[in-house]
Copies of this chain bind each other. A is one copy, B any other.
């Protein structure tokens, strides 16, 4: 490698990385060590630590705690430049990426790691009534809706004496759905208990609608059972084999049954980034690009597909679209590029020519503020649940958060929140309307001036 760098910059290869998520950032960190020039393209200016997004959505953490400008992350790696732009197509023969702004970006090696997005199964019109959780903006929107529901209920109670049931419906019983459900339940029962005078936030009901027979389908059965128990303990209701047939402002249809909802959230389906299909190679039904053992689409040894966008089979099973494999794929692709750049002629069959292999350390999902389920594969095998699993979750997530500042900030905020049941990130910004919340017909009353029933005043 040192020899290559010494050979002069005129032969330095350009690597373009599209997407600054787990796969892209880890690829960039690895490419920083090589004698290559790297252009990291992302349509947003920040890397988002997605496993903690739900904590923004539920007002425990601030956006700045779990997202970090990509430029800051790579600022000390002088061979990496960051371009805030969006890839919208490819010219594979000429090795160029088409950017949304109209320019073409040339590459010698290309890493595509643009991840996945919500899938409403063809019903995109449901999106505005049931937002999903993939970006910081999504998280702020969910926070807005959840907090606003309590505010509007209090207001309606004061103005009319009644309010709609505080039903929160979460469509999808995977890890995100379970985490959102546990957190909403906590917010209502613990953090908001003393904040309202006319409504009782603890009467909020959280319902998970899962289409398959079990929640947390990727987890072993004993942990699925534990998760159900822990959700029940929080008062979260579960309905499995519940097929949602319509989502409208204020309600969800399951078959012919109407389920009222002040807020509906979408945690049901994901589909691959549309970029995969634009490559013109084989994709699976979710739009993931089918790749070989080097993470290359067949016929393109200079292109690597990493993270959620890649369809990788291992031991007869598809590698799951979660953070760990994405990080490992990013690193693998970068190392592989290092090999190709250093010894391009040996790439056909040298000993270095190792295939990608996902090393599974396990998986975990939190359930409220002191429980979780964890399937640990490494450094020992274990199934944990309850508080021990939650502690494991806590430590691992602080460890993997990028950036010292973020770790400190998140740790401090968690300690504060969990010790005091208090928190200061419950800001409602943006619109003050909720779809389906229509109280105008019930209004035009004079607010009662009956004394509040609050015990004796402080003197």
Contact = CB atoms under 8 A, between A and B. Distances in A.
A408 B413 CA distance: 10
Given A194-B75, A430-B137, A458-B33, A64 B155 contact: no
A154 B40 CA distance: 13
Contacts of A439: 101
Contact of A83 (B10, B34, B65, B154): B154
A314 interface: no
Contacts of A226: none
B12 A451 contact: yes
Contact of A79 (B37, B85, B426, B454): B454
Given A81-B158, A451-B37, A457-B79, A428 B46 contact: yes
Given A195-B72, A195-B75, A427-B63, A159 B103 contact: yes
B195 A424 contact: no
Number of copies of chain A assembled together: 2
Given A101-B155, A447-B103, A5 B456 contact: yes
Contact of A147 (B45, B76, B103): B45
A106 B72 contact: no
Interface string A32-54: 11111101000111100000000
A406 B430 contact: no
Given A5-B456, A35-B459, A45-B426, A446 B104 contact: yes
Contacts of A444: 102-103
A1 interface: yes
A14 B158 CA distance: 14
A152 B154 CA distance: 43
19 contacts: A5-B456, A5-B459, A9-B451, A37-B449, A46-B428, A62-B425, A63-B425, A64-B427, A71-B196, A72-B423, A72-B426, A79-B457, A79-B458, A81-B198, A84-B428, A99-B159, A103-B159, A136-B429, A405-B422
User: 7 tightest CB-CB pairs across the interface, nearest first?
Assistant: A78-B454, A64-B425, A102-B443, A71-B195, A62-B62, A81-B197, A103-B159
